[in-house]
Homo-oligomer: A and B are copies of this chain.
Amino acid sequence: MRLSEIGEFGLIDNLKNLCKIKKRDLITGIGDDAAVVKSQSKNYLLTSDMLLEGVHFDLSFTTFYQLGYKTLSVNISDIFAMGGKPKYFLLNLGIPQTCNLQDIKEIYRGLNEIAKKFGIAIVGGDTCASKKGLVLSGTLIGETGHAIMRKGAVPGDSIFVTGPLGDSAMGLELLKKPGTTKSDIGTSLIKRHLMPEPAPLKRTAGVTSMIDISDGLLIDLSHICDQSKVGAVIYKETVPLSKELINAAKKLRKDPLEYALKGGEDYLLLFTSPDKIRKDAVRIGDVINRGRYLVDSEGRIERFKAEGYEHFKNK
């Protein structure tokens, strides 16, 4: 079905039917000037992320379903990074002429897949024609009693991550390799790039600071150091790596640790806590007074800088 046949209001009617999660505290969702929501918690959390064609994705190497999924999952990751519960999502869509109704429905199928998993209601947004490629701009509202900030880390705390790092960056590299086709999209590393799976930290008591790993471990840890006014030591051999990453790096004759330290978009959580051991995360370092260091298994030490992906910077 071409969008020109149903028009904007026909499209909105279609989308309304695709967004049917009922929530007791949602008074009005799509279809009025704004969504109306009953406030349940002491605080609400607001986060926004945008995916642009040609910058964040290439339609030859991702499906519309995956795009919808990722647009919401990167926002969920930010709410989890504050210790919050994601609740309401708004999606602004700029749709080029090349997209038809089925494509848009696929975006919403991906959205709904992950929305259902976490009980999120899609409550609004704006749809408009785009002359310059597909635009997905999402805003997610979460709630929390107590928000965990980037500031709050204290010397003596341990540094934890909630899973193996670098998979997404390796997935992106594999995706960009000449010869990759749409049939490779399901491969595990690539899938971790195209459909990141954020997960909340269930036990947040005692967590002193937290951030999600979106720009890369070294950059995101530097944000915690900057805002908490502390330093950090990372023990290289403790940084968790997946078997898939190790194997792929071996084939490419690259160091898998480089992907784990500098690769972005893992959407796992990095946090600090006075705990020394946790069942739900891996301890990779210590918060210290000042300075930022990497230490290898033989005790050799080097300083690190905030390196990873940054928009606008020349490379």
Cβ of A247 to closest chain B Cβ, rounded Å: 32
CB-CB contacts below 8 Å: A176-216 with B: 210-212
Q: Are B4 and A312 in contact (CB under 8 A)?
A: yes
A204 to B119, CA, bound (A): 34
Among candidates B77, B135, B140, B150, residue contacting A135 with C-beta atoms closer than 8 Å: B135
A123 to B48, CA, bound (A): 10
Q: Are A39 and B50 in contact (CB under 8 A)?
A: no
Chain B residues closer than 8 Å to A117, beta-carbon distance: none
Chain B residues closer than 8 Å to A139, beta-carbon distance: 46, 48, 90, 92, 139
Each complex incorporates copies of this chain amounting to 2
CB-CB contacts below 8 Å: A1-53 with B: 3-4, 6-9, 11, 27-28, 31-39, 41-50, 52-53
Q: Counting CB contacts under 8 A, is A310 at the interface?
A: yes
Among candidates B8, B32, B95, residue contacting A310 with C-beta atoms closer than 8 Å: B8
- Chain A contributes a number of interface residues (CB within 8 A of B) equal to 76
Q: Are A150 and B32 in contact (CB under 8 A)?
A: yes
Q: Counting CB contacts under 8 A, is A72 at the interface?
A: no
Among candidates B33, B79, B127, B128, residue contacting A82 with C-beta atoms closer than 8 Å: B33
A49 to B144, CA, bound (A): 26
Tell me the nearest residue of chain B to A214, going by C-beta: B33
Proximity bits, A297-308, B CB within 8 Å = 1, else 0 = 000000000000
Cβ of A87 to closest chain B Cβ, rounded Å: 10
Q: Counting CB contacts under 8 A, is A133 at the interface?
A: yes
Chain B residues closer than 8 Å to A54, beta-carbon distance: 131-132
Chain B residues closer than 8 Å to A77, beta-carbon distance: 33
Chain B residues closer than 8 Å to A140, beta-carbon distance: 34
A37 to B144, CA, bound (A): 10
Tell me the nearest residue of chain B to A38, going by C-beta: B43
Proximity bits, A81-100, B CB within 8 Å = 1, else 0 = 11010001011111100000
Cβ of A94 to closest chain B Cβ, rounded Å: 5
Q: Counting CB contacts under 8 A, is A289 at the interface?
A: no
Q: Counting CB contacts under 8 A, is A55 at the interface?
A: yes
Q: Counting CB contacts under 8 A, is A68 at the interface?
A: no
Chain B residues closer than 8 Å to A135, beta-carbon distance: 50, 52, 94, 135, 137
Sample (6) of A-B pairs whose CB atoms are under 8 Å apart = A31-B150, A39-B39, A48-B92, A50-B93, A126-B137, A131-B133
Interface residues of A (CB under 8 A from B): 3-4, 6-9, 11, 27-28, 31-39, 41-50, 52-56, 77-79, 81-82, 84, 88, 90-95, 123-133, 135, 137, 139-142, 144, 147, 149-150, 210-212, 227, 310-314
Given contacts A32-B150, A32-B227, A36-B147, 6 further A-B contacts (CB under 8 A): A34-B81, A48-B90, A53-B131, A54-B132, A56-B128, A92-B92
